[in-house]
Amino acid sequence: MALAVQGPQGGVTPDPLGLQYTADGRKLREGRLVSAKRPALSQGVSTQSSWAVVGATLMERFDAPTDYSGNLVYKSGVLDKVLFDGGYISAADTSYHFFITDHQGNVRVVADASGAVEQVTHYGPFGEDLGDSAASLPVGAQDSVGNPYKYGGKEWDSALGLYDFSARLYRPAAARFTTMDPLCEKYYSISPYAYCANNPVNLVDPDGARIWIWANGTQEYILYSQRELFNKDGTEYSGEDKFVLLIQATLNNLYDLNDEYISEVLDNLEESDMNHGIAFDEKYTDSVEAYGFYGKDKANRGEPVGTWIKLSFKRRNADGVDLVPATILSHEIKHSYDFDSGKMKGLVPWRGEGINPAEISAVNFENRVRVRLRLPIRKRYGAAIPSNMMESPWKKKTDKK
């Protein structure tokens, strides 16, 4: 896929910026398009700010391009830097530059191999750059590296004032993406251009994938996507956190049950525009909480929200049945799915009589897993679940419209 983008510049019209991507959103090339022509209005493309560039000669139109090949970055055909998890190597002098990030993955400090500070960046809540000035650096230090990887660890284009979030471009000055969320029909209450559901203090939006596992030992988020684990920068996770690996194995086992509805629930969470985190602590009681200070209130109004799944795996049985990681996680996953789908209206907290319908929904989903693992089904949640509210675990089911 190739695009030409022109920033809102006044005066003389600059050459447009050309961007070329793979089908899955990885950037391949960026540079000025000195010979690009705007298409006619009859082609159905606006000439006001951006237009598509097509044709086999596209590669010839880039002027002094930047090329991306895996973790290698080339400028005008010459290797410029080698990216690694937590920084990069400058090819010109093979010097190392290390990123120091905050809890959201924003690059706050760049330091060299000796520990000397080279760059300090401060951000507003939506990623507005509040300064790389020398006043932020130690006395006598200079921001000599010009590091472009900043908010969320994403690459900043100063000419356009945009961050490249792979799936979309983001303008922090407006707190908005430049294009609509492809999944916006699932979140009618949120602007399709909004960043992190307008809640960047509590949520992160690394690249559009949405199941995160908290590695307590290394204090970092690990992404679960399509059965694999990845670090925040997109590189493959090679750590040995036992909880992270257990969650990966358990999620993969749920997919391996080959049940259409179980896979549908997992797929929806992976593709969600909300973030869903999974964390472990012995003090937890295997539960799900809505993200954010107002998350519970939003969920109670029927609005989609992200979640934290908090697990301890301490319980070995409940309500007369044995508990295993797959049954525990599937129960809580269904809660996250219902939060994500806006199905918790009036249920957070539950003030009605009897068992919370959200818990009955989770038990029914848990039983789909149980019968496929050849485990006894669960018929109680504290009290006996009414028979007319128990679903057949073999029933063909879908929430797709």
The answer on 196 and 234 residing in a single domain is: no
Please give the backbone phi and psi of residue 274, each rounded to the nearest 5 degrees, phi first. Answer: -100, 155
Q: What pLDDT sits at residue 203? A: 64
Q: What is the dihedral of CA 353, 354, 355, 358, to 10 degrees?
A: -30
Query: What does the alpha-carbon distance between residue 170 and residue 154 come to, in Å, rounded to a whole number?
Result: 10
Instruction: Measure the CA–CA gap between 212 and 275, rounded to whole angstroms.
Output: 7
Mean pLDDT value across residues 135-159: 69
For the chain, the residue count is 401
The residue with greater pLDDT, 375 or 51, is 375
Q: Which tokens go with 24?
A: 């899955």
Which of 80-84, 140-144, 394-398 has the weakest average pLDDT? 140-144
Residue with tokens 């139109």: 61
Higher pLDDT, 203 or 169: 169
Residue 376 forms part of a structural domain: yes
- Does any domain span residue 399? no
The fraction of the chain above a pLDDT of 70, given in percent, is 79
Query: Residue 202: pLDDT above 70?
Result: no
253 or 168: which leads in pLDDT: 253
Residue 23, pLDDT above cutoff 70: no
112 belongs to a structural domain: yes
Least confident of 88-97, 101-110, 175-184: 175-184
Question: How many independent structural domains does the chain possess?
Answer: 3
- Please give the helix or strand (H or E) that residue 338 lies within, else none: helix 325-340
Residue 219 and residue 308 share a domain:
yes
142 against 292, higher pLDDT: 292
pLDDT for position 80: 92
Closest CA to 67 of 26, 110, 27, 24: 27
**pLDDT for position 162:** 87
222 and 328 co-located in one domain? yes
Domain membership flag for residue 400: no
Distance CA 309, CA 290 (A): 9
pLDDT of residue 153 exceeding 70 = yes
Q: Is the pLDDT of residue 159 over 90?
A: no
User: Do residues 41 and 118 both lie within one domain?
Assistant: no
Residue 85 has pLDDT above 60, yes or no: yes
Q: What is the DSSP string of 26-63?
A: -EEEEEEETT--PPPGGGT--SSSEEE--STTGGGGEE
Is 394 a member of any domain? no
Average per-residue pLDDT for the chain: 81
Residue 145 has pLDDT above 70, yes or no: no
pLDDT above 90 for 214: no
Pair 233, 340 in one domain: yes
Average pLDDT over residues 9-20: 58
Shared-domain flag, residues 352 and 384: yes
Q: 277-293: b or e for each residue (b if 16 or more CB lie within 10 Å)?
A: bbbbeeeeebebbbbbe
- pLDDT grade, residue 43 (50/70/90)? very low
| Rounded-to-integer distance, Cα 57 and Cα 63, Å | 13
Residue that has been written with the tokens 């983008």 in this structure: 5
Q: Are residues 20 and 156 in the same domain?
A: no
CB 270 within 8 A of CB 262: no
Secondary structure percentages of the chain, helix, strand, coil, to 5: 20, 30, 50
Of residues 59 and 119, more confidently modeled: 119
Task: Evaluate the omega torsion of the peptide bond into residue 349 and state whether it is cis, within 30 degrees of 0.
Answer: yes
269 and 379 share one domain: yes
Q: Is the pLDDT of residue 249 over 90?
A: yes
Domain range for 111 is 71-204
Choice between 152 and 188, residue whose per-residue pLDDT is larger: 152
**Boundary-marking domain end, from 69, 91, 123:** 69
Query: What pLDDT shows up at residue 46?
Result: 39
In a domain, 395, yes or no: no
What pLDDT is recorded for position 332?
97
Between 53-57, 77-81, 230-234, 236-240, the lowest mean confidence (pLDDT) is in: 53-57
Residues 244 and 192 in one domain: no
Whether 348 and 377 map to the same domain: the answer is yes
Q: What is the pLDDT of residue 40?
A: 46
The amino acid that residue 52 corresponds to is: A
Q: Tens digits of per-residue pLDDT, 56-72? A: 444 446 778 888 888 89
* Band (8; pLDDT cuts 50, 70, 90): very low
Which of residues 46, 69, 92 is at a domain's end? 69
Residues 107 and 240 in one domain: no
Q: Are residues 181 and 122 in the same domain?
A: yes
Residue with tokens 């992404």: 223
Q: What are the C-alpha distances in Å from 223 to residues 10, 210, 213, 276, 332?
A: 41, 8, 6, 10, 18
Higher pLDDT, 150 or 199: 150
Two structure tokens written together for 371: 């019968």
Q: pLDDT tens for residues 330-365?
A: 999 999 999 999 999 999 989 999 999 999 999 999
pLDDT at residue 52 above 50? no
Rounded distance, CA 36 to CA 231, Å? Answer: 37
Longest CA–CA span in the chain (Å) reads: 75
pTM: 0.56
Q: How confident is the model at residue 210 (pLDDT cuts 50, 70, 90)?
A: low
Of 151, 169, 204, at which residue does a domain stop?
A: 204
- Region 370-388: what's the mean pLDDT? 96
Is residue 90 assigned to a domain?
yes
Q: Of 103-112, 253-262, 306-315, where does the model show the most confidence?
A: 253-262
- 401 located within any domain: no
Cα dihedral sign, 337-340-343-345: positive
Q: Binning pLDDT at 50, 70 and 90, where does residue 134 land?
A: very low
pLDDT band at 190 (very low <50, low <70, confident <90, very high): confident
